[in-house]
Structure 1
Amino acid sequence: MGTRGAGKHRGSSRLTKKTAGIAGIAALATTGVIGAFAAPAFAADNDSAPQDPALNHISIGDDAAVEIEAQADAQQAAAETAAEAAALKAQAEAEAKQRAAEAKRMAEARAKAEREAKERAEREAERKRLGTFVSPLADSYVSTQYKAGGGMWSSGSHTGIDFHAASGTVVRAVGMGTVVEAGWGGAYGNNVVIKHVDGTYTQYGHMSSLSVRVGQQVTPGQQIGLSGSTGNSSGPHLHFEARTGADYGSDVNPITYLRNHGVTV
């Protein structure tokens, strides 16, 4: 067996092989034929691992799909958040409208209750006012008592009481009622007779003028005429009678009558 001399028959260096490979590829390119072996020969000299362009395409496609899916998820989440926010806003607005409607209803109910209470109070006050009796003259006093004797009265005694009054003093209805007589009353002069709601009657005599007519409704304190000295009278005053009936002779004590109706005389 022969021996190789030192430095002889040494294999081609990597650089030489690479140069040859490049030259071969160039030659093949000149002839128009680049064989299937050219690429492996060239690639064999590359230190990097072989890469398939198709694999790179698939990898890029997968990344794009993941990104699109992520975007879709983000858009769906945003849409769901917006929808939830819109639903909460609509609910809040509906609740606000409901609260406003309830507040309005309660305010109207309170106003109605207050109005009804006021109306009841007014009716009660009016009822009390209409049921109240007053003195036939303001700031006056009794000058002649009931049943006082003397020749001035045909019956021999006074059938009512006389209130001191200057001519032209306002005469008032003592209580609510209906005028059953208004005009000349003989010895009573110009007189008014009122039937009250409790069935009793009051008479006002010797007036200088009258302010009411028969059938007229009167209320407590309403003016019915002016005091005077007409009829069988010795001077200006008001003759006042209280009766259980409309006719003469049914008289009762006027002071007791007024006091029983809450009037201090």
Structure 2
Amino acid sequence: MAFTRATGKHRRPSRLTRTTAQVAGVAALTTTGVIGGLAAPALAAGDAAVEQTGLTKALSIGDSLAEQIDAQAAAQQQAADEAAAKKKAEAEARRKAEEDRRKAEAKAKAERAAKERAAREAERKRLNAYVVPVTGSYVSTGYKASSGLWSSGSHTGIDFHAASGTSVHAVGSGTVVEAGWGGAYGNNIVIKMHDGTYTQYGHLSSIGVSVGQTVTPGQQIGLSGATGNVTGPHLHFEARTSPDYGSDIDPVAYLRSHGVNV
């Protein structure tokens, strides 16, 4: 059973009752967004005390809620901006790292290519270089020297002073075309050089290469000795235009033309 409070002309609602009702009404209107349209009549119906203690308080509650919403929206926007900035920074860092990686790879590739070119050039120069056949030696008998020791009456090469067993080297790059006994030359080696000329190494005590083998400048091919028609151990060296006897050319001029100091 509901109880109602009697009212009449002799008794109006109390100040507290009216104020409470007005606050509730304003709050409800604030929530629905129609506070602007209904506030004026409510103010007109009430007295000054109600306006100050009731409606003003309700408006303060609405303003506080709006401020909270605005603050929350601002915080969310700030968080979104920070997240976007972080994502952009991370993307930029990845882009920079990838760019640095590509640059490093390109630099390393260029350095490898440069080293390979330098190595190829150094090898090319080495293979095209010429050296003396006996290191630290000297010419003991010159080219075209006359003597009855030679069937032609003159020396067809030059002799390098060398004790028996001294290392003998190929003067340049080439292919061995003869390696064995050579009659008056004793144990001998003939090499076809890369430039088409031939070099001969005679009177060897031992031979260290075989026909068809390729040799490089300074490679040991045998040991000096005193085999064949000799009076003592040495290396007989010839430069030729063909592998055959009689095609000899000046060995000193030949070596000097290839940069060898003889």
Q: Same fold (TM over 0.5)?
A: yes
CA distance in structure 1 between the partners assigned to 2:134 and 2:5 by the alignment: 147
Partner in structure 2 of residue 39 of structure 1: 11
1:174 corresponds, among 171, 174, 197, to 171
Q: Distance in 1 between matches of 2:169 and 2:9?
A: 142
Matched, 1:81 2:84: no
Q: Please give the per-residue CA displacement for 1:230-260, whole angstroms capped at 9, x wherever unaligned.
A: 0111110000000011111110000000000
CA distance in 1, matches of 2:71, 2:248: 105
Report the 3-state secondary structure (helix = DSSP H, G, I; strand = E; otherwise coil) of the residue aligned with 2:226: coil
1:56 aligned residue (6, 19, 23): 23
Tell me: CA distance 1:56–1:193, structure 2 relative to 1, closer, same or farther (3 Å). same
Match of 2:219 in 1: 222
SS of 1:209's equivalent in the other structure is: strand
Deviations 1:38-87 (A, max 9, x none): 314x97xxxx8x95543222344444444333322222221111111111
Question: Structure 1 residues 35 and 125, CA, compared in 2 at 3 Å: closer, same or farther?
Answer: closer
Matched, 1:239 2:211: no
User: What is the rounded CA distance, in whole Å, between the counterparts of 1:162 and 1:53 in structure 2?
Assistant: 134
Question: SS of the counterpart of 1:193?
Answer: strand
What is the match of residue 107 of structure 1? 104
Pair 184,35 (structure 1): closer, same or farther in 2 beyond 3 Å: closer
Deviation of the 1:109 alpha carbon: 1.1
RMSD (Å), alpha carbons: 2.2
Q: Which has the larger radius of gyration?
A: 1
2: CA distance between counterparts of 1:79 and 1:178? 84
Query: Where does the alignment leave 5 or more consecutive residues of structure 2 unmatched?
Result: 31-58
- The equivalent of 1:209 in structure 2 is 206
2:159 corresponding residue in structure 1: 162
Return the alpha-carbon distance in structure 2 between the equivalents of residues 33 and 88 of structure 1: 63
* 1:149 and 2:146 are equivalent in the alignment: yes
Match of 1:93 among 80, 84, 90: 90
Extract unaligned runs of 5+ from structure 1.
Answer: 1-31
Relative to the length of structure 2, the TM-score reads 0.82
Partner of 1:134: 131
Aligned residues: 229
Q: Give SS of 2:85's match.
A: helix
Q: Structure 1, residues 77-107: CA drift from partner, whole Å, max 9, x if none?
A: 2111111111111111111111111111111
Counterpart position of 1:251: 248
User: TM (normalized to structure 1)?
Assistant: 0.81
Alignment equivalent of 2:115, drawn from 115, 118, 125:
118
Equivalent residue letter for 1:237 = H
Give the fraction of aligned pairs with identical amino acids, expressed as a percent.
63
> Paired residue for 1:190, among 187, 199, 208?
187
Mapped partners of 1:52, 1:70: distance in 2 = 25
Deviation at 1:156, TM superposition (A): 0.9
